[in-house]
Structure 1
Amino acid sequence: MRFGRILVALTLLAGLAGAAWAYRLLHAVSGGAPPAELIRVVRDPEGFFPRNRVNLLIVGKDYNYTRQGIAYSKNARSDTIMLLSLDLQNGSAAAISVPRDTYVQAPDGVSGKINGTFARGGVELLKQTLERTFDIKIDHYVVLKDTAVKHIVDALGGVWVETIDAMRYDDSWGHLHIDLPKGRQFINGEQAVGFVRFRKSNEDAPPSKEEGDIRRTERQQQLLRAMAEQALQPNNLLRLDQIVNVALGEIETDLSRPQMMAIAARMGGRQGLSNLRTATLPGAGGTYGGVYLYYLDREKAQALVDWLIKGDPTAGNRLVEVSVLNASSRGGVARAAAGLLRQQGFSIQRTDTARERQETSTLIYKQAALEPQARAIQQLLHIPKLEKNPDYPVGGDVVLLVGNDLGTAMLERWANQ
C-alpha cells in the first residue's frame, strides 16, 4: 500500500512538472501576452490555423566570408532544408530532410541543386519548388540564421549527441574547425555547428563513416531531437524564458506570435518529442558535368512525403519491401500472403519456401522506423509473433514467415478475394 501511494505521488509530481514546463514554454513564447489570450490558445490551439495539419518549411542559412574574414549570409544558399508536418489534433510531428544537393527543376526555369533556389529567389522560390515537386501545401516557413545553432545550443547549456565515427576537418578560410571523437558526447554550440556541417574529412585525415550528405541530414535530425530533449531538462525550466528569447532572435518566420503559442501549447513537452518521426528523402548521388548531384528516387520520395507530410498512413506501405516465405506444409501460401499485402500497397521483394517448417507465423522487421508498417502487416494478417532483427539473413525490409498456424487460413482469404 505504501509503495502504491509513493507511485501515485511520483506520478502527480511528474504531471505537475510537465504542466509547469508547458506553462513556462507558453509564457515564454507569448512575449507577455495577457492571460485571456493564453487561455484562448490553451483551449483551442487548432483554431489559429485553417486545418489541423500544419506544414512548415525549415531552412538553415549558409554563410560566406569576405576577404577580411567577415561572415555574411546575403544571397547565400540554404545549408539545411527540412519539411516539418505538425498534426495538431493528435500532437504528432514528422520531419523530412531534403539533401542540399538534391536535383530539382525550379519554377523559375532553372534546373540544378535545390539549395541554389534559396540563393536565387529566397524562401518563396524554395517553397514553390518543394510544393510543385511533391504536390504539397506549405503553410509557413522558419528560416534559421547562420548563428542559430551555436547560440541556441549554448543557451541550452550544451547537448548530448552521438557519432558513429570520428570527425576531423579544418578549413581556415571557411572558419570551420571540427574535431569530434567517435561515440556519445556532450557538445557546446561551436562544436554543434561542426557536428551538423561536417561533410568530408581533410585529404590528409583518415576517412570517416560520417561523411556524405545522408549522414549529415541524419545528424541534423539528431541535433533537433537533442535540443528538444535538453530543453526539457529540469535545470532549463527556470531559464526557459531566456532560451526561448534566444531562439526567437535567431529565426525569421511568417508565423504570428499567437500561432507560435498555439504550436507550443499543442506540441510542447515530452509527448511531442516522443511522437516525432524523422526521415531523409531517398535517392542516390551522382556526377553530371563534374558536379555532384543527389537524384531522388521519385516513387519512394513521393511515398515518403505522402505518408509523413500529407498524413496518408497507407503511403508508408509503398516504402516497405517484404519477403514472404512459406514455412507451412501447404503449397501456395507465400503467393497468397503476398497477394494480400500487394492489395495494401506493400512492395513484394520475393516469395519463396522457407528452409525449415515452423508452427507459428513470425514477422521480422529490420529497422525501428519500419515498426508502424510491420504492425500494420501483423494486424492485417493476424501474425502472432513480431520481432526486430536487423541482421536477419533474408532480403527485404520486412520478412514474413507463414507457419502452419496460418497457412490454411491464408489460402482461404486469398481465394475469397
Structure 2
Amino acid sequence: MNGRSKVNGKTPPPPQHRRASAPAPLPPVGRRTGRRRKRGNPLGKLLGLGALAAVVAGGIWAGKMFPKLLPGSSVRDILDLYNNPAKFFPKKDQITVLLIGKDYSYDKNYQRYTGKSSRADSIMLLSLDFKTRHVSALSIPRDTRVRVAGNTGKINATLSNDTYPGRGGPALLCEAVEDITGIKPDYYIAVKPDAVGNLVKELGGVDVETIDAIEYNDFKAGLHVKLPKGPVHIATADEAIGYCRYREIDPYVRNADGSAVFVGKDSRGVPLFKRKSPAEISALNQCQENGDTRRMVRQQNMIRAMIASGKRQILHADTLVDTALKQFDTNLERPQIFAIASLYRNTQPDQVASGTLAGAFEKHKPFFFIPDRRKTEALVQWLVYGDEKAANRVTTVAVQNATDISGAARRAAELLRAEGNFDADYVTDGPKTQATATTIQFTRAVNKPRAEMIAKLLGGGTVKKDLGPDRSGSLSENVPDITVVLGSDLAPRLGEQSALR
C-alpha cells in the first residue's frame, strides 16, 4: 500500500479482497416522540476538523506559545510537542479521527437544545499519517443506511440517545462508520452546533467561493444569510453558519424580520404561509449549491479556508486555541491535540485530500442513502490507506475531442479505463476548436498526480489546474475531476487506433 502504515493494528488486504455485504433490511428505527427535531438544519456546524484546522493553523507549534497553551506542562513535554510529537501516540504511525457536527433539536415548545438527544448533522472520517504527513477526509452523508445495535437506520441517529436509549453517542456512531467503511475510528471529536461560526469570528474571517448565490433562512434560530455568487469574504459567524448549512431553497416569501408571510389557516387550523411563484421556485431549484453533496463540498472548502486564515494568526494562537477547545468534546487528550497541530504545522490547505461517500438515495421512504460498495472500498483504500491506484477508480474523467478526427475521444476513454482504471467517459460532440495542443485540466490540487498519469498514458498533453471555483457536488452539472481536450497532436494517433478496432 505504497508503504503506508497499519490502521487499527491491521494491514488492509488488497481492495479486491475487501468485500462487504449490504445490511439486512430490518425495520427502520422508530421516530422520537414528545420532541420535534428541525430537519435540514445545521450540517455545517462543522466539524472537529475545523477546530483542528484552527489549532494547526494558529502557529501553536511555536515554542514560546506552548507555556500559554499547556499550563503546567514540563519543559520536556513542551519540547517533545515540537520535536517529537508522535511520542504522544505510542506505537502508532497513523490514526483516524471521526469528526461529528452536532445538530440542534427543538422541544414541543420549539425551544432549541443540544445534548444526548442531538443527532449528527455532519460526519467526516479524518486520516492522519504521521510518517508521510498526509491528511485526508471522507465525508459520510447523514442519511446513510447502517445496521447497528440490531437495527437498521440512518447513521445520523446513532448519536442520539433518544433513538438508541442507553447506546446513542460517539461510540455507537464509530461502530456505524466501521459498518460502512471497515474502519473503526481511533478517536472522535464532537463539535457544538455553532462551532464554525465562533471559530471564523475568532479568525477574523475567511475567504471562500460560491458557484451560485445562497439565501439561507432559519427563522427559529434568527439566522438569515445572503451570499453572492463568486469570491466571498465570510466575516461573521452567521455567514459562516449559513455557508455551511445551506442545502435547499427557501420556498416562502419573507417579511423584513425574516418570518414567513402569514396568509391564514386551512380547514384543520394549520397555519398557511405565502409561497413564491412556481416560476421563482423553478428558477431557484436550478441553484448549483443545492443538495447534501454540494453542502459537504462547502464544508471541506471551509476547512481549507480556516487553515489558510489561521496560518496568519500566529500572534493570537492562545486565544484561538482556547476558543477552539471550548467548541468540542473529544476522547483526545489536550497534549495529543497539540501534537497533531505540531505534526501538521506545515500542511497547506490544498494538500488535504477529500472525498464524499458515493452512492444513491432510495426513491421511497425513509429515503436511505445506499453506499456504492465498490466505490466506498476504493475511497477507503485511497483516503485512509494511501493507495493511489484506488484513487483512479473514483476519479471521473471527461474526454472531449476538439478536432474532426472521428473516434479519438472514445479511444482515449477506453485506454484510460483499461490501463489506468479511471472512471472515464467521452463526449461525442466536443467543442470543435481545432486545438493543436491537448490539455488535461484538473479541478483540485489533489488530482494533479492523476492528471499527470493521464498525460503519460495518452502520450502527451499539457497538465494545468482549473482556476475557477470548485464545482464538485453541484446538482445540475456532472462535474468531472479531470477534463481532457484532445488536440491535433494526439487525436490522429488515437483516431487511427479506433479505426483499427
Q: TM-score, normalised by structure 2?
A: 0.66
Q: Write the distance in 2 (CA, Å) between the matches of 1:340 and 1:177.
A: 47
Establish whether residue 189 from structure 1 lines up as the match of residue 237 from structure 2. yes
Letter in 1 for 2:341: A
Residue aligning to 2:311: 232
Residue aligning to 1:199: 247
Which structure 2 residue ranges, 5 or more long, are not aligned? 1-56, 254-279, 469-477
1:86 alignment partner, SS class = strand
Deviates more, 1:333-342 or 1:245-254: 333-342
Cα offset for 1:405? 7.5
Residue aligning to 1:6: none
Residue aligning to 1:118: 159
Establish whether residue 93 from structure 1 lines up as the match of residue 132 from structure 2. no
Q: Write the distance in 1 (CA, Å) between the matches of 2:329 and 2:127.
A: 18
Residue aligning to 1:11: none
CA RMSD of aligned residues (A): 3.9
**Which residue, 118, 125, 133 being the options, matches 1:76?**
118
Q: 1:164 to 1:32 in 2, by over 3 A?
A: farther
Q: Which has the higher contact order (CA 8 A, sep 6+)?
A: 2
**Which residue, 178, 194, 199 being the options, matches 2:224?**
178
Letter in 1 for 2:224: I
Q: 1:404 to 1:137 in 2, by over 3 A?
A: same
Letter in 1 for 2:418: R
Deviates more, 1:46-55 or 1:141-150: 46-55
Given that 1:361 and 1:385 are in contact with CA atoms closer than 8 Å, whether structure 2 keeps it comes out as: yes
What's the CA shift string for 1:10-36, capped at 9, x where partnerless?
Answer: xxxxxxxx9966316655553452221
Establish whether residue 278 from structure 1 lines up as the match of residue 325 from structure 2. no
What's the CA shift string for 1:145-170, capped at 9, x where partnerless?
Answer: 22322322222233333333333343
Cα offset for 1:178? 2.3
Given that 2:413 and 2:424 are in contact with CA atoms closer than 8 Å, whether structure 1 keeps it comes out as: no
Given that 2:58 and 2:321 are in contact with CA atoms closer than 8 Å, whether structure 1 keeps it comes out as: no
| Structure 1 or 2: more helix by fraction | 1
Establish whether residue 133 from structure 1 lines up as the match of residue 180 from structure 2. yes
Q: Write the distance in 2 (CA, Å) between the matches of 1:328 and 1:41.
A: 61
Q: Write the distance in 2 (CA, Å) between the matches of 1:227 and 1:390.
A: 20
- Aligned length in residues: 387
Letter in 2 for 1:362: T
Given that 2:116 and 2:169 are in contact with CA atoms closer than 8 Å, whether structure 1 keeps it comes out as: no
Cα offset for 1:390? 9.8
What's the CA shift string for 1:344-380, capped at 9, x where partnerless?
Answer: 4334435999999x99873523533532211123345
Q: 1:361 to 1:135 in 2, by over 3 A?
A: farther
Q: Write the distance in 2 (CA, Å) between the matches of 1:167 and 1:226.
A: 18
What's the CA shift string for 1:209-251, capped at 9, x where partnerless?
Answer: 4322122112212222222222222xx3222111101111211
1:210 alignment partner, SS class = coil
Q: 1:395 to 1:189 in 2, by over 3 A?
A: closer
Given that 1:83 and 1:95 are in contact with CA atoms closer than 8 Å, whether structure 2 keeps it comes out as: yes
**Which residue, 39, 43, 55 being the options, matches 2:79?**
39
Residue aligning to 2:451: 374
Residue aligning to 1:263: 340
1:75 alignment partner, SS class = coil
Given that 2:358 and 2:372 are in contact with CA atoms closer than 8 Å, whether structure 1 keeps it comes out as: yes
Q: How does 1:388-403 map to 2 (within 5 A)?
A: 397-399=482-484, 401=486
Given that 2:59 and 2:311 are in contact with CA atoms closer than 8 Å, whether structure 1 keeps it comes out as: no
Given that 2:60 and 2:342 are in contact with CA atoms closer than 8 Å, whether structure 1 keeps it comes out as: no
Letter in 2 for 1:373: R
Given that 2:175 and 2:184 are in contact with CA atoms closer than 8 Å, whether structure 1 keeps it comes out as: no
Q: How does 1:51-70 map to 2 (within 5 A)?
A: 51-66=92-107, 67=109, 69-70=111-112
Q: TM-score, normalised by structure 1?
A: 0.78
Cα offset for 1:407? 8.4
Deviates more, 1:68-77 or 1:138-147: 68-77
Q: 1:245 to 1:322 in 2, by over 3 A?
A: closer
